Amino acid sequence: MIGIFDSGVGGISVWKELQDLMPNHDFVYVADCAYCPYGRKSADEIIERAKKISEFLINKNADIIVVACNTATAAAIEYLRSHFSVPFVGMEPAVKPAAMESKNGVVGVLATAGTFKGSLYLNTLTKFASNVKVIEQIGDGLVELVESGKTHGQEVELLLQRYINPVIDAGADKLVLGCTHYPFLIDTIKKIAKKSLTIINPAPSVAMQTQKIIDENNIQPKSYGSNIFISTGNIETMKMLVHTINPNIVEQNFISYNI
C-alpha cells in the first residue's frame, strides 16, 4: 500500500500522477485539513503532525509513504526517515529542470514561506540554480482558496495576478509550482501568463521516483488498486477534487477521521 499525506487536499495532484503510473497499487491518502495550512506553523508543529500521520499510515500497512507537501517535506522529511523504517518520498520545487531549460536565465518559484526556508530547497538552489536568477514568490492565501474549493474565478485570478505578474515582469520564462495545491490553479495561471511562462509541476517526477523505490524494494500490489481518502477536517473539497479526476470513486471511500 502506498500512503500519501498533505496538509490538505493539494496532494491529490500527486495522487493523480501516482495512480496513473501504478493503478494496481492500493492508496490511502490523508488530508490533514484540521491543521491546514502548514505554511504558518512552526517546524516542530509540522514534525509532530507528520509523525502522527506516518504512524497512522504505517499501522494501515503502508509499504512506502509519499509526503505530498513541500512544506512538510522541508520541515519533517529528515525526521521521518530517521525514525521510521519504511521509505519516504518527499517533494521539492523543481528548480533543477527549470534552471537547465530556461532560455532567459530567469525562473520563478511560487511556494510557501516554509518551503523557501527548507534545506532541501536551499541546497537545490545552490547546486543547480547558481547560473540563473530565481524570483521567489510566497503564495499567501492560495492554499486556503484551494481548500475552500475555489480554483477558478475572480478572487483566484486577482490573487494570482499579484504573484505571477512580478515573475513575468522580471523576465522569467519558467514558473515552478512549489506547493501541491497550486496545480489545481494551473488554468488560471496559464490565463495570466499567456505564453510567457512554461509551468513546471514536480508531481510527475515524484510519481516516477516513487515507482523507482517501489521497484527497488520489490513492493508488489496486494489487490486490484483501491483508493481510500481520509480527512482530519472538512471532506467536501477533497471529494470534489477527487471526482474531477475519477468520478467513479464511491462515497464510502471518503472518511473523516481524527488523527
**pLDDT tens, residue order, the chain (259 aa):** 999 999 999 999 999 999 999 999 999 999 999 998 888 889 999 999 999 999 999 999 999 999 999 899 989 999 999 999 999 999 977 898 999 999 999 999 999 888 888 888 888 888 888 899 999 999 999 999 999 989 999 999 999 999 999 999 999 999 999 999 999 999 999 999 988 899 999 999 999 999 999 999 888 877 677 999 999 999 999 999 999 999 999 999 999 999 9
Candidate list 66, 99, 179, 203, residue with the active-site label:
179
The residue ranges of every structural domain in the chain are 2-91+204-256, 95-201
* 36 is annotated as an active-site residue: no
> In CATH, which of 2.60.120.260, 3.40.1160.10, 3.30.700.30, 3.40.50.1860 is domain 95-201?
3.40.50.1860
Tell me how far the alpha carbon of residue 212 is from its chain's centroid: 19
Q: Does residue 11 contact residue 5 with C-beta atoms inside 8 Å?
A: yes
Q: What is the pLDDT of residue 192?
A: 93
Residue 209, pLDDT score: 94
Q: Cell for 228?
A: 481510500
Say what the alpha-carbon torsion angle 168, 174, 180, 182 is, to the nearest 10 degrees: 30
Exactly one of 53, 62, 68, 69 is catalytic; name it: 69
pLDDT score of 181: 92
CATH, range 2-91+204-256: 3.40.50.1860
The helix (run of H) or strand (run of E) holding residue 251 is none
User: pTM for this one?
Assistant: 0.90
Evaluate whether 2-91+204-256 and 95-201 have a shared fold.
yes
Is the CB of residue 165 less than 8 Å from the CB of residue 140?
Answer: no
Compute the distance between CA of residue 3 and CA of residue 26 in angstroms, rounded to an integer: 9
User: Cell numbers of 174, please?
Assistant: 519558467
